[in-house]
Structure 1
Amino acid sequence: MVVEYGDPLDITCAFDTGTPMPNASRFLAFRKNDETVSPEVVTMPHSKMNDVRASLLQTEIVNSTTIKLHIDKPNKVSADLYTCLMNNTPVSLNFVTVGTKPQAVEDFNCISYNFDNLCSWTPPENYVKTNYHLTYTLRDTSSRRGHNEYFFTLKMENVFGEISTTFQNFAHGKCRKVSTQNLTNLVFPTVLPEPPENLTVISTTSSSVYLRWQLPESMQIFTPGVHHRIFYQSEYDGKQWSFGGEITDNATQKEKFFNLTNLQYAHALYDIRVSLRSADAIVDDESTWSRHASVTIRTDSKVPDEPPKTIIGGFELLHFGDDLQFGEVYIYWQQIPKKKRNGPDFRYKISVEANPALQPSKLTDNYAKFDNLSILSSHMFHIWSENARGLSLEKSIIMVPSHRDLVEKPKNFAKVDYGGGRYELCWKTPKIPPFQHLQSYTIFWCEDKRERPHQCGGRINWRVIPLTTRTQVSVAKDGIFQFAVSANTGRSSSGMLWAPCTGVHDKNMYKIKNLQLKLNGLGYTELQWTLKRDNCHCHRIVGFIVHYCQMLSLVTLECRGGNITDLSHDTLYKFTVAVRIENNLTGQQTTGDVDFVGTFHRIWDNHLAELTECSKCGRKFFPHRIEAHRRACAGLRIELKNKK
Structure 2
Amino acid sequence: MNRIVFVVLICWVSCVTSKNRLENAAALGWIIPTEPIYREVNDSFSLQCTLNMRSAEARWSNSSNLMFFQGDVPVPREQVKILNDSTIELVVEKADPHMNFAYTCKVNDTQGVGIRSVYIGHKPREVKDFKCRAPLWDKHMECTFTPDPNSMAATYELVFYFKPIIQNFTCKLETDDQTNLTKCIINVDTGYRNVNEKYYFILTASNHLGTLSQRFIINHFDVVIPHPPIGCVIEDVTSNSAVLKWSKWYKYDGFSRNFICEVKLLSIFDNNVWRTVNNEGLQLNHRVYTLPLRNLPYAATPYDVRIRMRTNSTETGSDLWSNHTSCLFDTLPRKPDMPPEVAIGAFENSNEHHLFIYWRELDDWQHNARSGFHYNITLIDQHGRIVEHLNTTGGMIDRHHLVDMNYTFVIKSANPEGMSEQASKVFVPARRHRLDKPSIDKLLSDSGKFTLSWKPPSRIYSPITSYTVFWCNTTSNSPNDCNGSINFTSVAADQTTFVLSDVGSTINFAVAANAGRVSSGMVWAACTATHKTDIGKLKTIWISEMDSSQIHLKWKTECVDVAHVGYMIYYCSISSPRTLGCKEPEMKINVTDKTLDHFLLENLHPYVTYKIEIAMYSDTHIGPRSVPLVNTTMEAAPSPPRNLVTERVTNNSISLHWEPPAHINGGKMFYWVFYNGQFLKHDVEEPSTNVTFTLDNLDAFTEYNITVTAETVKPSNSTEPVHARTLVGNPLVIGQPSTNSSNDSKLTIGWNSPSKPSGCVEFYELKVKANQIIVYQQRKTECQLREPICQNRDSSKYEFLVRAVNVDVTGPIKTAFEELSCSDRWTELNNMWPELKRFVAHAECGTSDAIAMQSNGYSWLSELPPNIRLHYGPWSEPLAHWCSMESKNTLALFILVGIAIASGIAMFSYSYVKVKHVLQVKVIIPDGLNDITGSGKPSGFGAVIGPAGIIFTEHHRVDHIITGGSTKEASYSKEQNQCLLPSSSSSGGSIADLSSHEPRSSADYCSNSGCCEDDSTSFYDQEAERQDLHGYSDDTTESIENSHETHQGSSTSSRSAANDDLGSSFGRTNLGTVNHLPIMPVTSMEGKSSQNRSSSAMPITVTSGYVPAPVVNTVKQPISSNGYLQIGALNNGGMMAPLDTMQKSYNAKMAAAAPISGYVTHKQLSDYGQHLK
- The verdict on a shared fold, with TM-score over 0.5 as the criterion, is yes
Tell me which residue corresponds to 1:48. Answer: 8
| 1:374 pairs with 2:374 | no
Tell me which residue corresponds to 2:360. Answer: 334
1:355 Cα shift?
A: 5.2
| 1:386 pairs with 2:414 | yes
| 1:297 pairs with 2:329 | yes
Alpha-carbon deviations, 1:454-493, whole Å to 9, x = none?
5112332223223347313122145111111111112311
Alpha-carbon deviations, 1:417-464, whole Å to 9, x = none?
231233333333324364x33222222222222233451123322232
2:292 aligned to 243, 256, 259, which one?
259
Residue 545 of structure 1 contacts residue 610 of structure 1 at CA under 8 Å; is this kept in 2?
no
| 1:238 pairs with 2:263 | no
Tell me which residue corresponds to 1:317. Answer: 349
After superposition, where does 1:152-551 map in structure 2 within 5 Å? 183-184=215-216, 186-189=218-221, 190-222=223-255, 224-246=257-279, 253-279=286-312, 281-282=313-314, 284-319=316-351, 326-345=352-371, 346-353=373-380, 354=384, 356=386, 358=388, 363=392, 365-375=394-404, 377-411=405-439, 413-432=440-459, 434=461, 436-468=462-494, 470-477=496-503, 479-501=505-527, 507=536, 509-511=538-540, 549=576
2:686 and 2:488 mapped to 1: Cα distance?
56
| 1:115 pairs with 2:141 | no
- The aligned length equals 442
Greater strand proportion: 1
Residue 415 of structure 1 contacts residue 501 of structure 1 at CA under 8 Å; is this kept in 2?
no
Tell me which residue corresponds to 2:1072. Answer: none
- Higher mean alpha-carbon deviation, 504-513 vs 187-196, is at 504-513
Relative distance call for 1:154 and 1:432 in structure 2 (3 A) is: farther
Alpha-carbon deviations, 1:546-599, whole Å to 9, x = none?
866387xxxxxxx597979xxxxxxxxxx997675999x9xx99952248xxxx
1:204 Cα shift?
A: 1.6
What's the TM-score once normalised by structure 2's chain length?
A: 0.33
Relative distance call for 1:457 and 1:626 in structure 2 (3 A) is: farther
Any stretches of 5+ residues in structure 2 without a counterpart? 12-128, 145-159, 171-189, 203-212, 543-554, 585-608, 640-661, 669-684, 690-1173
Relative distance call for 1:425 and 1:151 in structure 2 (3 A) is: same
What code does the residue aligned with 1:48 have?
Answer: V
1:217 Cα shift?
A: 3.6
What code does the residue aligned with 2:688 have?
Answer: K
1:328 Cα shift?
A: 1.1
What code does the residue aligned with 1:329 have?
Answer: L
What code does the residue aligned with 1:351 have?
Answer: T
1:305 Cα shift?
A: 1.9
1:405 Cα shift?
A: 0.7
Relative distance call for 1:114 and 1:304 in structure 2 (3 A) is: same
Residue 228 of structure 2 contacts residue 324 of structure 2 at CA under 8 Å; is this kept in 1?
yes
Tell me which residue corresponds to 1:61. Answer: none
1:426 and 1:620 mapped to 2: Cα distance?
40
Tell me which residue corresponds to 1:65. Answer: none
Whose radius of gyration is greater, 1 or 2? 2
2:431 is paired with a residue whose SS is coil
Tell me which residue corresponds to 1:643. Answer: 688
1:175 Cα shift?
A: 5.9
1:118 Cα shift?
A: 4.9
1:424 and 1:200 mapped to 2: Cα distance?
53
Relative distance call for 1:483 and 1:347 in structure 2 (3 A) is: same
Residue 194 of structure 1 contacts residue 216 of structure 1 at CA under 8 Å; is this kept in 2?
yes
1:393 Cα shift?
A: 1.5
Residue 546 of structure 1 contacts residue 611 of structure 1 at CA under 8 Å; is this kept in 2?
no
The share of aligned pairs that are identical, in percent, is: 23
Tell me which residue corresponds to 2:835. Answer: none
2:521 and 2:569 mapped to 1: Cα distance?
32
Any stretches of 5+ residues in structure 1 without a counterpart? 1-22, 27-43, 52-106, 123-133, 137-149, 158-163, 320-325, 514-530, 552-558, 565-574, 596-608, 630-639
1:227 and 1:533 mapped to 2: Cα distance?
64
Relative distance call for 1:481 and 1:534 in structure 2 (3 A) is: closer
1:546 and 1:562 mapped to 2: Cα distance?
6
1:135 and 1:546 mapped to 2: Cα distance?
98
What code does the residue aligned with 2:450 have?
Answer: Y
Relative distance call for 1:512 and 1:328 in structure 2 (3 A) is: same
1:233 and 1:45 mapped to 2: Cα distance?
87
Relative distance call for 1:453 and 1:250 in structure 2 (3 A) is: closer
Tell me which residue corresponds to 2:1045. Answer: none
Residue 441 of structure 2 contacts residue 556 of structure 2 at CA under 8 Å; is this kept in 1?
no
2:449 and 2:628 mapped to 1: Cα distance?
30
1:540 and 1:283 mapped to 2: Cα distance?
63
Alpha-carbon deviations, 1:160-189, whole Å to 9, x = none?
xxxx9999999xx876589xx985253533
Residue 475 of structure 2 contacts residue 506 of structure 2 at CA under 8 Å; is this kept in 1?
yes
What code does the residue aligned with 2:431 have?
Answer: H
What code does the residue aligned with 1:358 have?
Answer: E
| 1:592 pairs with 2:626 | yes
What code does the residue aligned with 2:403 have?
Answer: S
Residue 429 of structure 1 contacts residue 469 of structure 1 at CA under 8 Å; is this kept in 2?
no
Relative distance call for 1:300 and 1:364 in structure 2 (3 A) is: closer
Relative distance call for 1:563 and 1:338 in structure 2 (3 A) is: closer
1:48 is paired with a residue whose SS is helix
Alpha-carbon deviations, 1:508-549, whole Å to 9, x = none?
544489xxxxxxxxxxxxxxxxx9986777999999988663
Alpha-carbon deviations, 1:381-430, whole Å to 9, x = none?
0111222322122111110001111111123x233323123333333332
1:120 and 1:562 mapped to 2: Cα distance?
87
1:624 Cα shift?
A: 7.7
1:262 Cα shift?
A: 2.8
Residue 196 of structure 1 contacts residue 292 of structure 1 at CA under 8 Å; is this kept in 2?
yes
1:298 Cα shift?
A: 2.5
2:281 and 2:294 mapped to 1: Cα distance?
18
1:507 Cα shift?
A: 4.8
What's the TM-score once normalised by structure 1's chain length?
A: 0.56
What code does the residue aligned with 2:448 have?
Answer: G
2:518 is paired with a residue whose SS is coil
Greater RCO (Cα-Cα under 8 Å, separation 6 or more): 1
Alpha-carbon deviations, 1:230-269, whole Å to 9, x = none?
2223333334333224489876722222212232322333
1:315 Cα shift?
A: 0.7
Residue 344 of structure 2 contacts residue 426 of structure 2 at CA under 8 Å; is this kept in 1?
yes
What code does the residue aligned with 2:291 have?
Answer: F
- Higher mean alpha-carbon deviation, 400-409 vs 255-264, is at 255-264
2:430 is paired with a residue whose SS is coil
2:576 is paired with a residue whose SS is strand
1:271 is paired with a residue whose SS is strand
